[in-house]
Chains A and B, each alone.
Chain A
Amino acid sequence: MNTEAIVNLLYRVADDALIIAHRHSEWTGMGPILEEDIAFSSIAQDKLGHAQALYAIMHEHFAQPKPDQAAFMRNAAAMRCCQFVELPNGEYDFSLVRHFLFDSAEMFRYHAFTDSSFEPLAKLSRKVIGEIKYHLYHAQTWMVQLGAQGNEVSRARMQSALNEAWPYALGIFEPGPFESALIADGVFIGEEALKEQWQTFVSDVCRDANLTIPSDVEPAYGGRSGYHTEHLQPLLDEMTEVFKIDPSAEW
């Protein structure tokens, strides 16, 4: 198996989970209602757990840094997350739309991973897919609630958030240099195949939610090769602030 290809793939997925976890956690204490505050905080913890498990696999099998070092000691240019996850939360509508578009992709991604020839990844995916299924239910139900069952204001806000999010959502599937190696080795079905599954599903839900997917949009690529928006470095600075006071401290 192509080690470099697997490591590249795992960093993309782990960094996505780490950064979205941080963004979701920013709703802690700030959610529009107590119940949503709890839901976003809990989902954030799940995502952080996925990131940690993926960093741990890389540490164990490919001599990468320990999870804490991998999460806290890299700057923006070294991060392989897509730009979508690093965007600020904005209003609750944008957070929900991003949560939906991102977790739809996560659902199909982890589902594909359950068949991966790289057994540690397959094993982890079988363990966490129930969590991701719930994350998606949560987001999807709000999409339909606010799009189709709310009022004109809620629908308009969701539509506007969807328009804003769409180019970045396409950026989730930015192809990397190892696509063909990963596919050939049976590690992963590849970003293009994943995007097709995702698009069919997302189109169905948006139709149920009475929302229109923007057409002819250029994907926001760059994150997977370390080109990020101006929002990532401040996020990393905040997230790592305490850890960097004494990286050798035992927690």
Chain B
Amino acid sequence: MATIISLDPRVTRLQLESETPDTLKPKPELDQLQTYEVFHQQKSGARHIHVGSLHAPSRELALLLAKEQYGRRGQTYNLWVVNTADIFTMRSDDADVFATTPDKTYRDVAAYMVRNKVEAFKKEQQTGGTGA
């Protein structure tokens, strides 16, 4: 007779078979709920920021559950939920299309040394130079 370890079902239900039975089969596809991505908006007019995902059977329930998971702490004005399957994105092995972007400093505002030119011009004016 098995010894009772605990009356708490959270403990007792962890008593798994030591060896995985051969009959254990993966669940069929679509047996699980869908996932939704959640976007949180703090104030009216503010941008929505992606904060995570959740499981739900429909977008209506996704929105309600998002309220609990992502809207119950701190200020919230609104939420968006989007079915993860509806998000169109790049393949992860295409990340190399962005590889050389950090090298292209001429595409970065900080790369333009306009201030140097402006200061040189002011100095020139003050000293009454003839200009280039």
Interface residues, chain A, with chain B CB atoms under 8 Å away? 29-30, 33-36, 38-39, 42, 134, 137-138, 141-142, 145, 149-150
Contacts and interface: CB of A to CB of B under 8 A. Distances in A.
A190 B30 CA distance: 48
Contact of B72 (A33, A34, A42, A138): A42
Given A33-B33, A141-B61, A145-B60, A134 B67 contact: yes
7 contacts: A34-B55, A35-B54, A35-B56, A35-B68, A38-B65, A39-B68, A141-B61
Interface size range of chain B in the complex:
10 to 19
A39 B64 CA distance: 9
Query: Helix, strand, loop or mixed for chain B's interface?
Result: helix
A152 B56 CA distance: 19
A38 B52 CA distance: 15
A196 B57 CA distance: 32
Contacts, number: 37
A134 B68 CA distance: 10
B27 to A, nearest CB: 14
A54 to B, nearest CB: 22
Contact of A145 (B61, B68, B72): B61
B11 to A, nearest CB: 11
Nearest to B61: A141
A134 B79 CA distance: 14
A40 to B, nearest CB: 9
Given A35-B56, A142-B61, A145-B61, A42 B33 contact: no
B58 A35 contact: no
A158 B2 CA distance: 36
Nearest to A144: B60
B84 interface: no
A38 B68 contact: yes
